[in-house]
Amino acid sequence: MKPQVTIVDYGIGNLYSVGRAFEVCGADVIFASNPQEVASARHLVLPGVGAFESGMAGLRERDLVEPIRAHAAEGKPLMGICLGMQMLATVSEEFGEHKGLDLIPGRVCALPHTTVEGESQKVPHIGWAGLYKTPGAKWHETSLADVQEGDGVYLVHSFAVNTDNPEHQLAFSHFGGHPVCTVVRRGALIGCQFHPEKSGPVGLKVISAFLTR
């Protein structure tokens, strides 16, 4: 029997490319835009591109905030992708201060505009970067189980999550020499700042592992 995954449709995000990647990994995909569909999900995916405030407004307008929080509280698998990962945090500093889902305690902060050497660098960060283990992180118990350190993933972002608890950071990448949080995890919840649907075989490994949780 195919695993079933529910992708949250809140009026923002690259839904169909995400859905196609999950289908390639053998999943039956459902797009959910109401509380009942989210509440009945087994594997839930929160995708997203764009601004934090707009993303949270889309969730609130469709009464999806509490169903997503309830899903996480029940210990069911949840994956946030790009903006979806950022919305898992407590608050974002993007264009003011805005409350998130508060599932991963922490703040979403702007990427540095200078390298560690003090040279100017372009933001947003667009392109490929390697994934590296946060000290003490155990990938074998997570959706990164089949990923090797240094494997490249594709990112497009101007902000990143800073977790309050270092144990919630699973992986980081480098941007201008700065370590930037790329994957967060708390129980069955995982957030990927990178786009697994655009990260080739590595991204498909992450999706496939998530479906087995």
Residue/partner pairs of 91-96 with CB below 8 Å, 24 or more apart: 92/52, 92/53, 92/159, 93/159, 94/51, 94/52, 94/53, 94/158, 94/159, 95/51, 95/52, 95/53, 96/53
Cβ–Cβ under 8 Å, residues 113 and 121: yes
Query: CA triplet 184, 142, 158: central angle to 5 degrees?
Result: 25
Catalytic annotation present for 82 = yes
- H/E stretch holding 35 reads helix 35-39
Catalytic annotation present for 195 = yes
Residues 89 and 204: their CA atoms lie apart, in Å, by 24
β-sheet bridge partners, residue 126? 156
Q: 3-state DSSP call for residue 127?
A: strand
| Candidates 25, 94, 192, 197; catalytic one | 197
Cβ–Cβ under 8 Å, residues 152 and 90: no
| Candidates 43, 71, 82, 157; catalytic one | 82
Counted residue by residue, the chain has a size of: 213
| Candidates 43, 98, 157, 195; catalytic one | 195
Catalytic annotation present for 197 = yes
Residues carrying an active site annotation? 82, 195, 197
